[in-house]
Amino acid sequence: MLFQSILDCISGTFAASPPPAPPIDSRTQDSIASDILTIILTADTPYTLHKQLNEKITTEGWSEAIATSLLHGLECAIKAGTQMAKAASDALTEAKNAAIGFAEDHPVYATLIALGILAILMPWALEILGFGDLGPIGGSFAAGWQSRYAGYVPKRSLFSFFQRLGMNWHWDV
């Protein structure tokens, strides 16, 4: 019942209107995504999770539509309060430990990766904080910060640095 409701959520259908039957010789991408989600939610060990996912993805292939359906299904499962299987939780812990180990073993590479991510996220962060390309955005954090200067923003202040970035950053990056 739970997996059917998740499948309905993935495919965009509800219990009132059952999803159309997939063709006999090929499966829909929503069905493949549902199977992958079932594996993630029910695998009992990280090894089983890894093995079953490799078999499913290798056998069925991978596409953006499957990834999108899977992401939507995971969102629905989280909203429905479904608890992830122990294997998924263990896999998350292993990934976290591997990332920490990489950062400790290769601090220069980790720093370069972090700087690259920061450069990608900087336009978004500046806009969220209210440092727009035409000046501080009304009602934003930046506007509130600027009001503390009472009309005078000192040269080379942190505020002026962020505002200059907000006005000069290429927003189409």
Rounded to 5 degrees, φ, ψ at 135 are 120, -175
Mean pLDDT calculated for residue range 137-154: 87
Could you report how far apart the first and last alpha carbons of the chain are, in Å?
44
Q: Residue 171: which of 104, 109, 126, 115 has the closest Cα?
A: 126
Distance (Å, whole) CA 90 – CA 96: 10
Q: What is the pLDDT of residue 112?
A: 92
Side-chain-facing half-sphere of 90: CA atoms under 13 Å? 13
pTM for the structure as a whole: 0.39
Banded model confidence at residue 74, pLDDT cuts 50, 70, 90 = confident
Weakest-pLDDT range from 58-62, 92-96, 103-107: 58-62
